Structure formats: structure tokens, C-alpha cells
Amino acid sequence: MTIEANIPTLPPLSAQSGNLRPILEWLARRAEPVAISLGAILTGLALFSIFITVVGKSPIDLFKLMYTGGFGSWFSIQNSLSRAAPLLLTALCVALPARLGLVIIGGEGAVVLGGVAAAAAALPLTGSVSPIIVLVVMAIAGMIMGGIWIGMVGVLRHYRGVNETIASLLMAYIAIALMNHFIEGPLRDPASLNKPSTTPLPAEYMLGSIPGMDVNWGLVIGILACIVSWILIEATSFGFAARIAGGNVRAAQIQGLPVGRLIVGFTALAGSFAGLAGMVEVAAVQGSANASLAAGYGYTGILVAFLARHNPLAIIPVAILLGGIDASGGLIQRRMGLPDATVLVLQGTLFVVILFCETFYGRFKIFNPDLWKRTA
């Protein structure tokens, strides 16, 4: 309940609090998303503990194992970071359109097709040009493919009024079917017998690891993409226009802002990040496009973006946290005899709690300067 409508005037603040108040306000507004997100995660872990207790295991042991598996050693940290890399890019595919008020959940489709496009673009080039050029061409192909794929969702949304959430989700299934068509048909490497794949990338053409780490360059690409996205949204006039359109599309129209172009541009950019995730998966992990591209990164990205409240910088720590939870799945399976889907239960629980906690914004007096006491 808010009472601002009943506040007739703002009495002058006393000189002393007048100096402090802007700083306190700034702190309060910044602290709110951090505190609520942490609260949501803790609540999610508490609910998950109940679940674990019900299946007869000790939640304490489980959390210890999760820590060990995710962040307990240099090996597990590297493992977590590797898993976080694609999530950074797929989370951007959700977060950027979300700033325009669009809920896009079909990043998986752009990942898959971006990977196929990257693999296909590399085929005619390997052996004749230098690895760096091949990788750049692959990245561009993946980004263009992903951009077109999610950009189409934006076009359908703006020009035909098709719901973007449903369209992107259904198009993800089409994308997976298309991938299967290509890797089992025109692009299939005849040597891939059990698992249809495209012709593998020769080892010297693979995207290598960051020096001193067993983590591929995808992590750096992902972090850079998050930083660029943050600058785009927070510091440029395009980002501001997108925030206006996301805040109220009617207000944006009345200001003459090109809402259609913003929607198509932002969805295409979002899709190109997901397509880049597919390219990294092919160039750094799989070595070829195959069914392993559809590993659910697009869907985990949704969770990351919502947990980060669609703030590209917050995506970085959240993706690493989720990467860690993901990395601990194997250890939990081995040591506790729990199926590794257990971590999916945790992810699902966190997601529901996070969506629920959205309703708490502005409710806590300590974080909402508009409810603060005024000194008369």
C-alpha cells in the first residue's frame, strides 16, 4: 500500500539530513535488488532443503557437496566458469528484449541454429585460410543466424501482433528440427556413425583456452558481451529509447520513437548473442554441430536473466553461480546417489521463488525512499 497520493507538500528537510539523504536514497535504491535477490535465493535453498529432507538425504551434506563441486577447488571453479560461459550469452538473449517489455524464452533455437551456421561456414574454409579468419567468419555466421531467428520473433511481434513468448518457444522446436535435418542430411559427416554430426573442425582451428586456465575463450566473449550490453542500455540514447518503450510503449509512440525498429533491433541483437553461444559451443567444445547443441543453455539463460533482473552486469555473477550449481550435479549424483536432475529441481524452485519475489519491490520501507519519514 502506498500513501504518496495523500502527501500534500514536502516539508523542508532539516539541513543535516538534507546532506545525507541523497546518499542514503541512492544506497537504498541500489541495495533493494541485491537484498531481494539474495532473499529469494535463500528462500529457494530453504524450500529445496525441505525437498531433500523428504527424499531422505541431508540438505547440509548436499550444500557442502554443491560448494565443493562448484567452487571448492581450482578444478571445480574452472568447471563452473566453463559452464557459465554459454549462460552469459543466452541470458542476454532474454535480458535485452526484456528491457523493451518482451519476454523471449526461445534462445535455445538461436543457440542451435547459430551453431549449425557456424559449422557450415567453417566447412569450405578449413585448410585454406588461417584459423583466426575461420573463427571470425564462424562467429559472424552464428550471430547473423541467431539474429535473424530471434529478430523474426520481434518482426512477428511488432508488425503482426504475435505473442513473442509463444512464438519464440515454438520456433525453438522448429530450430531443433532444422538442426536435425541438416546434421543428419546435407551437412552430415559420413564418418559420424552413432551420433550424426557435421565434419569436425581440425584441432588447430578450435577456439582455445584462456592462458593458464582450462576454460575456453567463450567466458571472455560472454563477459565482454555483458559489458557492451550494459553500456548500450544504460549509457546510450538507443538504450534509453528502449527503456522508454519497455516502460510504456504508448509514451514512446507519442514521443515519435521508432518502436518497431527498436524491437526488431534489440531482438536481433539478443538473438545474435545466443547464436554466438552456439558458435562457441561448436568451436570450443564440440568441434562440430550435433545434437549436443540443444543442451538447454537457452532455457537456463532464462533463469539467469530473471535472477539478474535483466541487468547485463548482474548476469555475470549470476551465470557463474548457476554454472556452479550445474557443475556440482555430477558430484551430487556420484556421492549422494541422487539423480543429477536434482539440480534441475533446485533451478526450478529458485525460478518460481524469484518470480514471486518480484512482487516485493517497493514494499520495504527501508529500500523505498518515497515512504521515508519526512522531517517537518
Using alpha carbons only, give the angle 18, 23, 28 rounded to the nearest 5 degrees: 120
Using alpha carbons only, give the angle 230, 236, 239 rounded to the nearest 5 degrees: 65
HEC per residue, 51-70 = HHHHCCCCHHHHHHHHHHHH
| Distance between CA atoms of residues 111 and 300, nearest Å | 12
Nearest residue (CB) to other proteins, 130 versus 248: 248
Nearest residue (CB) to other proteins, 111 versus 241: 241
Where are any strands of DSSP class E within 36-178?
none
**Minimal distance in Å, beta carbon 250 to other proteins?**
5
Nearest residue (CB) to other proteins, 96 versus 110: 96
Using N-to-C axis directions, what is the helix angle for 237-247 and 218-235, rounded to 10°? 70
- Residues contacting residue 332 through CB under 8 Å, at least 6 positions apart: 62, 65, 66, 69, 338, 340, 342, 343
Nearest residue (CB) to other proteins, 28 versus 137: 28
Nearest residue (CB) to other proteins, 4 versus 190: 4
**Minimal distance in Å, beta carbon 247 to other proteins?**
2
Nearest residue (CB) to other proteins, 17 versus 130: 17
Sign of the CA dihedral with 351 first, then 353, 358, and 361 last: negative
- Residues contacting residue 182 through CB under 8 Å, at least 6 positions apart: 116, 120, 198, 289
Nearest residue (CB) to other proteins, 253 versus 333: 253
Neighbours of 354 (CB within 10 A): 20
Name the region of 201 (left: φ>0; alpha: ψ -120 to 50; beta: rest).
Answer: beta
Please give the residue ranges that form the binding site for other proteins (CB under 8 A): 2-10, 21-22, 25-26, 29, 234-241, 243-244, 246-248, 250-251, 253-258, 362, 365, 369-376
112 with 176: CB under 8 angstroms? yes
**Minimal distance in Å, beta carbon 276 to other proteins?**
23
DSSP helix/strand/coil, 212: coil
Nearest residue (CB) to other proteins, 175 versus 252: 252
Could you tell me which of 65, 4, 28, 54 has the C-alpha nearest to residue 334? 65
293 with 112: CB under 8 angstroms? yes
**Minimal distance in Å, beta carbon 308 to other proteins?**
17
**Minimal distance in Å, beta carbon 54 to other proteins?**
37
| Distance between CA atoms of residues 152 and 108, nearest Å | 15
**Minimal distance in Å, beta carbon 162 to other proteins?**
18
Nearest residue (CB) to other proteins, 176 versus 233: 233
**Minimal distance in Å, beta carbon 16 to other proteins?**
16
Whole-angstrom CA distances from 233 to 74, 266, 310 are: 34, 10, 11
**Minimal distance in Å, beta carbon 9 to other proteins?**
6
**Minimal distance in Å, beta carbon 47 to other proteins?**
29
